[in-house]
Amino acid sequence: MSLRLRLTLLYSIILALTLIVFSGVLYLTVSRVTVAVVQTALQEQAKRLVSSGKLHLDNIEYPAHKFVPRETYVQTRYFNGTIIDKTSNLGSQALPLSERGLQMCRAGRSWTETVSTVDGRLLVYSAPIGANNQQVGILQVAQSIADYDQSLAALRRVLVIGGVVVTLAAFGIGWVLAGAALRPIDRITQTAQTIGAERDFDRRVPSTGLNDEIGRLATTFNAMLAQLQDAYRQVEQALHTQRRFAGDASHELRTPLTTIRGNLGLLQRQPPISDEDREAVLDDMVDETDRLMRLVNDLLVLARADAGRQLQSAPIALDPLFEETCRQVRALAPERQFTCAAPEGLAVLGDRDALKQVLLILLDNGLKHTPPNAAITLSAAAEGDQVAISVRDGGPGIPAAVLPHIFERFYRADPSRTGVGAGLGLSIAHALAEAQHGSIGVTSQPGQGSTFTVRLPRTTCAEDDV
């Protein structure tokens, strides 16, 4: 059973029950009041009859003009129940008195009862009457309540027919209203089905703009769709990056392998190549093997970073680390101009080996991508609860169009310049900086050099690190 039908039925049943209770109470009250009104009238008439002094047990002078227009019947009885006299409008009929009524009258109390006749119901009031302080008989006054019964029957019909009509109308209106109220839910269901079928996460549920249950459901549903869309896009992007990475990696690995394979072919040649050529081929193979090893190492570092390998998080004193790194770089390029300076006592929280690798990558890039006369400076400065480590070079700078891509894997601004690297250095630096809860950024202006800045959490230096 649909929610719409359930809601409508629920409303209708509640309304029908309310109407039944209301109609029942109304009907009972009206019928009781009606009987009570006639009963009071009969009591009054009986009293007036007695007080008029014209009542003789055996000769009832019926003072019709004093009574209400409705026909009234009067009758007297002895206490043994024998009828003494009655008004002529009774004809051959007699006003009945039940055994219980007779007993009540004998006990000096009045009694009212309704009796059914062929012409409708009659309300009979019976009361003992006395003379000279003595109870002498019973006076019975009666009136037909058939008219009232008719009115009550009409009321009953109105209540039953009205109740049924109102309930049916309420069911119809409730059905329409419930349909209108639940329509947005239908639309949400349809949208969800379409999204499921078409995988179209751009779709949104039309919002009612109201802050009611359905409005909130639509907003929540749309927010969930936005998150799903985001997640879907990220997964797609990750897959795309992964595919590209695998393609680029294979491509990079293939170049040295092809060279090595070609060189092996040369070595196998008959007649053998000259000793001089052999020497050159072997040198070439050593270089290519070194390149292969570097590449595989780089890929391994990236794969580990991708797998979320935990790095150490310990205090690193920058002064000694800078000294050690610069010594290493100076040995590689003694002709280049290096400046290394870290304020004394400055320390960061991170992994010493990883940070050193980042610095070596940045300094190596400074060497590779700048002319020999360009100076390279490694410096550090405290920035709030972080430390900014900068590698500045006086090289040609990086064009604005290239800048957003330099941290991408296998990206090289000028791929034609073979031998400068596989384009993995900065992506490794980026991954290692993030793995230490830090960041890496670059500012560069063509012609004015570039500055790479690594930011890591600042800490106080442990003594044994210094």
Which residues of this protein are in contact with ligand ADP, per CB under 6 A?
Answer: 365-366, 368-370, 393, 395, 398, 406, 411-414, 420-427, 450
Instruction: Tell me the three state secondary structure of residue 307.
Output: coil
Smaller CB separation from ligand ADP, 265 or 399:
399
Least gap, CB of 358 to ligand ADP (angstroms): 11
Least gap, CB of 421 to ligand ADP (angstroms): 2
Smaller CB separation from ligand ADP, 208 or 390:
390
| Measured distance CA(205)–CA(222) in Å, rounded | 6
Least gap, CB of 422 to ligand ADP (angstroms): 5
Smaller CB separation from ligand ADP, 34 or 365:
365
311: left (phi over 0), alpha (psi -120 to 50) or beta: beta
Least gap, CB of 409 to ligand ADP (angstroms): 8
Least gap, CB of 288 to ligand ADP (angstroms): 16
Smaller CB separation from ligand ADP, 148 or 452:
452
Least gap, CB of 230 to ligand ADP (angstroms): 28
Least gap, CB of 463 to ligand ADP (angstroms): 35
Say which amino acid occupies 274.
Answer: S
Whether the Cβ atoms of residue 122 and residue 114 lie closer than 8 Å to each other: yes
Least gap, CB of 296 to ligand ADP (angstroms): 15
Q: DSSP letter at 371?
A: -
Smaller CB separation from ligand ADP, 99 or 414:
414
- Is the Cα torsion angle 230, 235, 237, 238 positive or negative in sign? positive
Q: Encoding tokens for residue 235?
A: 């997964």
From 264, 323, 268, 272, select the one nearest 289 (Cα to Cα): 264
Q: Encoding tokens for residue 365?
A: 């890039």
Smaller CB separation from ligand ADP, 137 or 366:
366
Smaller CB separation from ligand ADP, 280 or 402:
402
Residue number of the CB atom closest to ligand ADP: 421
The strand pairing partners of 134, in sequence order, are 131
Q: State the CB neighbour count (10 A cutoff) for residue 193.
A: 10
The strand pairing partners of 107, in sequence order, are none
Smaller CB separation from ligand ADP, 174 or 395:
395
Smaller CB separation from ligand ADP, 198 or 306:
306
Smaller CB separation from ligand ADP, 180 or 246:
246
Q: State the CB neighbour count (10 A cutoff) for residue 186.
A: 11
Whether the Cβ atoms of residue 370 and residue 434 lie closer than 8 Å to each other: no
Least gap, CB of 286 to ligand ADP (angstroms): 20
Least gap, CB of 349 to ligand ADP (angstroms): 25
